[in-house]
């Protein structure tokens, strides 16, 4: 298998980047995610893949609710905050505006395009990311939005490398 060709093909898809947040009722966490997609129409469901090495992983697998925040082009600083720092070392929620959703789930004030999800399943196939499948329970959107896409952040150094 030509891994470079595969990587190039996926890069051309130029995914819109999100910030995933989680709360298990005790601890908050969040990271930038490129692996995410709608995965069912009826019922509406969404899948997010979380790296096992991330601080967010430990919290997300214990969380009943998750939030997906769609990043806009002007949110590069937020992308660096959530994708370049790790909750192992810093409290990512100390210096940004957020308000609590279900179970204390952090909802980012800067990101009005977001969906709050209720977790329905997790799938670990032995890879370096675990799939979390969830159903939307609350959605907010704005009319104007140019998403921050993968090509804008692909050179960013992640706070945690996957194993």
Ligand X SMILES: Cc1cc2nc3c(=O)[nH]c(=O)nc-3n(C[C@H](O)[C@H](O)[C@H](O)COP(=O)(O)O)c2cc1C
Nearer to ligand X, 116 or 132 (CB): 132
Q: Is 154 in the site for ligand X (CB under 6 A)?
A: yes
Count of C-beta atoms within a 10 Å radius of residue 3 = 7
DSSP alpha helix (H) spans, the chain: 3-13, 55-60, 76-84, 150-153
d(CA 144, CA 113): 10
Q: Is 85 in the site for ligand X (CB under 6 A)?
A: yes
* Residues near ligand X (CB under 6 A), total: 25
Q: Is 147 in the site for ligand X (CB under 6 A)?
A: no
Q: Which of residues 97-116 bind ligand X (CB under 6 A)?
A: none
d(CA 78, CA 111): 10
d(CA 32, CA 39): 19
Nearer to ligand X, 88 or 142 (CB): 88
- Cβ 87 to ligand X shortest distance, Å: 3
Out of 25, 34, 104, 147, point to the residue binding ligand X (CB under 6 A): 34
Q: Which of residues 54-73 bind ligand X (CB under 6 A)?
A: 54-56
Q: Is 21 in the site for ligand X (CB under 6 A)?
A: no
- The two most distant CA atoms of the chain are separated, in Å, by 46
Cis peptide bond N-terminal to 145, omega within 30: no
Q: Is 32 in the site for ligand X (CB under 6 A)?
A: yes
Which is nearest to 78 in space by CA: 109, 57, 103? Answer: 109
Q: Which residues bind ligand X (CB under 6 A)?
A: 29, 31-35, 49-51, 54-56, 83-88, 129, 153-154, 156, 158-160
């Amino acid at each position: 298998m030509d891994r470079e060709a595969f990587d190039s093909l996926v890069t051309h898809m130029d995914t819109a980047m999100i910030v995933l947040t989680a709360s298990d009722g005790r601890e908050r966490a969040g990271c930038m995610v490129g692996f995410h997609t709608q995965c069912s129409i009826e019922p509406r469901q969404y899948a997010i893949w979380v790296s096992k090495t991330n601080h967010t992983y430990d919290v997300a697998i214990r969380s009943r609710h998750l939030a997906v925040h769609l990043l806009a082009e002007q949110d590069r600083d937020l992308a660096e905050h959530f994708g370049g720092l790790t909750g192992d070392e810093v409290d990512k929620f100390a210096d940004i505006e957020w308000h609590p959703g279900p179970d204390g789930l952090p909802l980012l004030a800067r990101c009005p395009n977001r969906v709050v999800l209720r977790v329905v399943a997790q799938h670990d196939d032995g890879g370096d990311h675990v799939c979390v499948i969830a159903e939307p329970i609350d959605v907010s959107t704005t009319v104007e939005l140019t998403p921050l896409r993968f090509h804008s952040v692909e050179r960013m150094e992640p706070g945690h490398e996957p194993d």
